[in-house]
A and B are shown apart, each in its own frame.
Chain A
Amino acid sequence: MILRLRPGTPDAKVQALRDRCEREGLRTVLSPESARPVFAVVDKAPAALAAELRADPSVEELIQPQGDWRLVHRSFRERPTTVKIGGVRVGGGEVVVIAGPCSVEGRELVLEVAQLVRRAGAQLLRGGAFKPRTSPYSFQGFGVEGLRQLKDAGAAVGLPVVSEIMDASNVPAFVDHAIDCLQIGARNMQNFTLLKAVATAGRPVLLKRGLAATVEEWLYSAEYLAHYGCADVVLCERGIRTFETATRNTLDLTILPLLREWTHLPILVDPAHAAGIARIIPPLSRAAIAAGADGVAVEVHPRPEEARSDGPQALLPAELTALVADARIMAAVTGRSFHPPPAAACS
């Protein structure tokens, strides 16, 4: 359950309420919320205790979440969370575009893509160094060397970088190479060992939805990250597997307004992996932002036919420029604004 106390409740009173719970053997977690004290009781509380707490004059609201997530529950924060990746704010009424090659394919190419991403007006550079490929014969990525090339390209153009981590043992490499945001891919959404390890990295995490995961399962994975130390989680819808074969996956925009009610976390949409077809990514991106997404993540390549992975879903540079312009328009007409480009230097 989540207890939202009245604004101005003294710290001593907050502690007394938490102590009351902990005497029953229940763990509590205090929200970083500054507008009012909020804390979650992460273990199941007996009905009698819940009734006692609800009756306390300091308790304005006691919420029994429908699901078992607490720290990522909407009620745990006063407003939707803003996650800072490098100097870029994700969430909080600004729309962002993450773009880059599917795979880091070499130093020169990733720099070329970084430059075109910067020129197009996107705010974050993505690129895969460790690639989860369906076939063992497909390009598996350059590994740590790819991280180095991605970070160097991002630094050269002043864009923070996002890259997927597949193995807990690689956390130090991501930290050492100052990767600004660690991505948990769809296939690893429920790799709980990886979630626990990544949560301790001290970096924001972009958590993609598993291709066959329910929203509840996705939020439990986010709760793992939050529980094990990462408060800066960004959700990313990337399509789910359905009976439909016309597209690679089915982009589930239906859940965006519901997610807004269920969690305070920022939400991005990756229309590229859902569609698998570059030409339908622009309308899907517009739809995602119209439905409330805090931004979109797309892939771009100067010569998609030469890409070593996912070429058919890579935008051309001019298409990325048009998509960014669309994102700006959609942000404005949905009452938000487009995040300004980051300063030339980043972490």
Chain B
Amino acid sequence: MEPALRHQLSALDRALLALLNERARLLAGVAGDDPGRAPAVDDLLRRHAGPFEPAAIRAVFAAVDRGCRKP
């Protein structure tokens, strides 16, 4: 892989990780599941134009939700 491409991917990964952590911080004081979560993900998918695979998006957000939950 070209170093410039690697650099850009690393920068995007850092940004993704920062956003995930910020999301987890925002939910830190919130207890219980959000009944509005599934419709919100459906809405995201309806607006989604790719190229990220829709099925993968659902899996990613499921993992995000698990990661944001308090252990």
Contacts and interface: CB of A to CB of B under 8 A. Distances in A.
B28 to A, nearest CB: 8
Interface in B1-39: 15, 18-19, 21-22, 25-26, 28
A338 B18 contact: no
A126 interface: no
B26 A333 contact: no
A338 B26 CA distance: 9
B15 A328 contact: no
Contacts of A331: 22
Nearest to B18: A332
A335 B18 contact: yes
A249 B19 CA distance: 33
Contacts of B26: 328, 338
Nearest to A341: B29
A73 to B, nearest CB: 31
B25 A340 contact: yes
Nearest to A338: B22
A280 B22 CA distance: 26
A337 interface: yes
A335 B19 CA distance: 10
Contacts of B25: 337-338, 340
A328 B18 contact: no
Contacts of A338: 22, 25-26
Nearest to B19: A332
A154 B19 CA distance: 30
A329 interface: yes
Interface of B: 15, 18-19, 21-22, 25-26, 28
Interface of A: 328-329, 331-333, 335, 337-338, 340
Given A333-B18, A337-B22, 5 more contacts: A332-B21, A333-B19, A337-B21, A338-B22, A340-B28
